[in-house]
Amino acid sequence: MTRTRRPIQARPTGRAGQRVTQARVIRSEWTKLRSVPSTAWSLLAAVALIVGVGALYSLLRVTRPPTDPAAVAAFDPTAVSLTGVQLAELAVGVLGVLLVAGEYATGTIRSSLAAVPRRLPVLWGKAVVVGLTTVVLCLPAALAAFLVGQSILSAERLDIALSAPGVARAVLGSALYLGAIGLLGLGLGGLLRSTAGAVAGLFGILFAPQLLAGLLPEAWSDRIYPYLPVPAGVAVTAVQPDPASLAPWSGFALFCLYVAVVLALAAWRLRGRDA
Amino acid sequence: MIEAHGLTKRYGDKLALDGLTFTVRPGMVTGFLGPNGAGKSTTMRMILGLDAPTSGSVTVNGRPYREHAAPPHEVGALLDARAVHPGRSARSHLLALAQTCGIRRSRVDEVVEAVGLAGAARRRAGGFSLGMGQRLGIAAALLGDPATVILDEPVNGLDTEGIRWIRSLLRGLAAEGRTVFVSSHLMSEMALTAQHLIVIGRGRLIADTSMEAFIAGAAPSLVRVRSTDPASLEAVLRARDVTVSGAEDGALAVSGLSTDQVGRLAGAAGITLLELTAQQPSLEEAFIDLTRDAVEFRAPTTGTLTTGGAQA
């Protein structure tokens, strides 16, 4: 350069330290997450579904309490109060999808990747933000759903204490499972780059394997069923595990492995393909 | 400083860029011109490391873009004014970009102010006009106080005041010693802003020249001269070995002589002049001539559109 540059306005101070770091990208992604209305709506829907559906289902069950001893023994008050998690996963998964597919739809991805040319910190930043936000909001929601549900069920003495074996783990597991679903949506959004495609992919992964397994001969389907994504993932949310399913934490670990594979594919595509 | 070397991009069997080599120097506004589909945006995306070239390389301020530790300080770019989440406010959009490399919040307010969006900064960008979107995109480009500024069609959608603002902004940035690279498909706009021109068509370099040289070489400048005695004047001027052609109103179009020279020659020959004007060639025409063979999409002659009834 032949001429010296003069700043257009006061130059940002401390510029030497101004490099792109993962922590800064996480802050940036947090700003992006909280600055669009769709995020608030998805998270509000998730919380409302967890608490609302749990309370409604508890009310439903308390009006028709189990009578015969076998049914009483099989009654799982924790599962009843946490029914809403099965619906909240759709809202959380869609939030994950929107976070990245939305950037492709609007073209914002180009500014994001121009600001962070190594690219992968953007994906990891989104993963941290969506994972933590989901768990931090869904854990109190699951706890509230549990407490509300148990107070409803206590009318027929069907309730269970949080301190009972496996109960606290199921409540915590529900929030962790939803966090992982958020990451699954994020990975699918990054892999497919289209909102419609990724939402379809999300629903496919959540529902299709169980349906397809049901078409197989029973001996086969019984054997593979515990290893399918959702049956493996929800093992951690159940107090009384299905004898056929995996142990709670091993099931959840397997589900996290599936999510990690999808995220790795998204990372590979983000890294290699033109934006 | 932007240095492109043999940039080539192939999409399937279509060659979007074909061995493009050029240098964009600091301290001046360089216009990047070409018809639609010439490869301007592809080139700009490659400079920013968004698209990978099939072969060739491009560096900004001496390094490939991806190797810069703090890209917003090196290069500020506006690629697409519509590329903002419609539900996000202008300020949040800029803040998220600023945070990736620790730029202060107050700098966000500064650039918002500088582009004239202060009143709209907290409104959702989805409600912005194209012109406001361009201003937001320029604010984003200026966030990191970059040494190199790259703007893709920044005057699109701007009103007259906005266009004048862009012109003075670009000249100001260049005067500060920055590299300013601006694409456009409008020659007339570039003529008022750029000091250097890079013209491409169908992915190939057509011209890499100063604006002055482009204007001078575009077409011979003509002198229009009308006199009481066109025939004698023509004879006097022809003797000077220049081309003279007659116009329908008795005027002569002279190339190869200045107005001063024509006037003196006429005076020496005692011919009374009624009109003597210098006619600059239209830059738009010169540009069209230059890129005539490189236009990708061209409308058929108007006749085919109006006689289509029988074919339908």
Distances in Å between the Cα of B231 and the Cα atoms of A87, A242, B111, B237 are 93, 109, 64, 10
Q: What CATH number is associated with residue B64?
A: 3.40.50.300
Of A12, A37, A113, the CB nearest to B87: A37
Strand pairing of B273-279 and B243-246?
Answer: unpaired
* Pair (B21, B113) in one structural domain: yes
More confident residue, B189 or B19: B19
Task: Name the band, by pLDDT with cuts 50, 70 and 90, for residue A261.
Answer: very high
Q: Domain boundary residue among B216, B251, B270? A: B216
| CB of B37 closer than 8 Å to CB of B81 | no
Cβ count near A121 (within 10 Å): 21
Taking one residue from A and the other from B, the number of pairs with CB-CB distance under 8 angstroms is 147
Which of A253, A214, A260 lies closest to A233 in space, CA to CA? A253
Residue B122 sits in the same domain as residue B202: yes
- Collapsing DSSP states into helix, strand and coil, what is residue B225? strand
Give the model's confidence band at B308: pLDDT under 50 very low, under 70 low, under 90 confident, else very high: very low
Span B241-246, mean pLDDT? 72
Q: Report in angstroms the alpha-carbon separations of B305 from B36, B135, B308.
A: 21, 38, 6
Any A CB within 8 A of B73 CB: yes
| Pair B198, B241 in one domain | no
SS3 of residue A116 by DSSP: coil
| Shared domain check, B118 and B263 | no
The answer to whether the CB of B57 falls within 8 A of the CB of B64 is yes
The structural domains of chain A, with segments of one domain joined by +, span 22-272
Contact of A184 with A259, CB cutoff 8 Å: yes
Does the pLDDT at position B280 exceed 90? no
pLDDT above 50: residue B134: yes
Q: How far is B86 from chain A (nearest CA, A)?
A: 8
Q: Which of residues 43-72 of B touch A (CB under 8 A)?
A: 45, 48-52, 65-66, 68-72
- The DSSP code sequence of B69-129 is SSHHHHEEEE--TT-S-TTSBHHHHHHHHHHTTT--HHHHHHHHHHTT-GGGTTSBGGG--
Looking at the predicted structure, is the pLDDT value of residue B302 above 60?
A: no
pLDDT at A2: 43
- Mean pLDDT lowest for which of A121-125, A227-231, B86-90, B254-258? B254-258
In a domain, B33, yes or no: yes
Query: Is B27 in CB contact (< 8 Å) with chain A?
Result: yes
The CATH number of the domain holding residue B274 is: 3.30.70
Name the maximum alpha-carbon separation found in chain B.
76
pTM: 0.85
Question: Does residue B16 belong to any structural domain of this protein?
Answer: yes
Of the residues A35, A126, A195, the best mutation for testing chain B's interface (the one with the most B CB atoms within 10 Å of its CB) is: A35
pLDDT at position B218 is 64
Chain B residues inside the 8 Å CB shell of A106 = 82-86
Task: Please count the other Cβ atoms lying within 10 Å of the Cβ belonging to residue B223.
Answer: 24
Domain count, chain B: 2
pLDDT at A11 > cutoff 80:
no
Pairing of strands B179-184, B222-227: unpaired
Burial of A221 (C-beta count, 10 Å sphere; 0-12/13-18/19+)? middle
- Residue B294, pLDDT > 80, answer no
Number of residues assigned to chain A: 275
**Of A87, A105, A99, nearest in space to A127 by CA:** A99
Range with lowest mean pLDDT among A27-41, B49-63, B199-213, B273-287:
B273-287
Residues B102 and B185 both lie in one domain: yes
- Residue B286 domain-assigned (yes or no): no
The answer to whether the CB of B130 falls within 8 A of the CB of B156 is: yes
Which chain A residues have a beta carbon less than 8 Å from that of B49?
113-114, 117
Give kind and range of the element (H or E) at residue B244.
strand B243-246
Q: How high is the pLDDT of residue B281?
A: 66
Q: Taking the alpha carbons of A128, B83, B70, B62 in that order, is the dihedral positive or negative?
A: positive
Neighbours of A105 (CB within 10 A): 17
Report the gap between the CA of A161 and the closest CA in chain B (Å).
43
Give the minimum alpha-carbon distance from B309 to chain A in angstroms, rounded to a whole number: 39
pLDDT tens digits, one per residue of A51-83 = 999 999 999 999 988 888 888 888 899 999 999
Range of the domain at B50: 2-216
Asked if the C-beta of A11 comes within 8 angstroms of chain B's C-beta atoms, the answer is yes
Give contacts of B 139-168 with A, CB under 8 A.
Answer: 140, 142, 144-145, 147
pLDDT beyond 70 at A203:
yes
Domain identity same for B232 and B94: no
Residues B239 and B201 in one domain: no
Nearest chain B residue to A114 by CA: give it: B48
- Judgement on whether residues B62 and B80 belong to the same structural domain of the protein: yes
pLDDT at B312 over 60: no
B19: left (phi over 0), alpha (psi -120 to 50) or beta: left
Residue A16 in contact with partner chain B when CB distance is under 8 A: no
Question: What are the residues whose beta carbons fall under 8 Å from the beta carbon of A259, sequence distance 6 or more?
Answer: A180, A183, A184, A187
Cβ distance A20 to B101 less than 8 Å, yes or no, reads yes
Using a CB-CB cut-off of 8 Å, the residues of chain A touching B173 are 8
Residue B139 pLDDT more than 90?
yes
| Predicted confidence (pLDDT) per residue in B181-233, tens digit | 999 888 888 888 999 999 998 889 988 999 888 877 766 667 888 888 888 88
Structure tokens at B280: 């600059």
C-alpha A174, offset from chain centre:
10
Q: Which of residues 36-55 of A touch B (CB under 8 A)?
A: 36-38
Instruction: Among B171, B193, B216, identify where a domain stops.
Output: B216
With a cut of 90, say whether residue B177 has pLDDT above it. Answer: yes
Chain A residues touching residue B45 (CB < 8 angstroms): 110, 274-275
Helix (H) or strand (E) holding B22: strand B14-24
How many Å apart are CA B134 and CA B79, to the nearest integer?
10
Of the partner residues A24, A37, A274, the one whose CB lies closest to the CB of residue B52: A274
Angstrom CA distances, B173 to B218, B253, B266, stand at 28, 41, 47
The closest CB to that of B85, out of A11, A102, A113, belongs to: A102
Each residue's pLDDT tens digit, A115-153:
999 999 999 999 999 999 999 999 999 999 999 999 999
Alpha carbon distance B26, B3 (integer Å): 11
CA gap B48, B58 in Å, rounded: 9
B240 pLDDT more than 50 = yes
Inform me whether the pLDDT recorded for B297 exceeds 80.
Answer: no
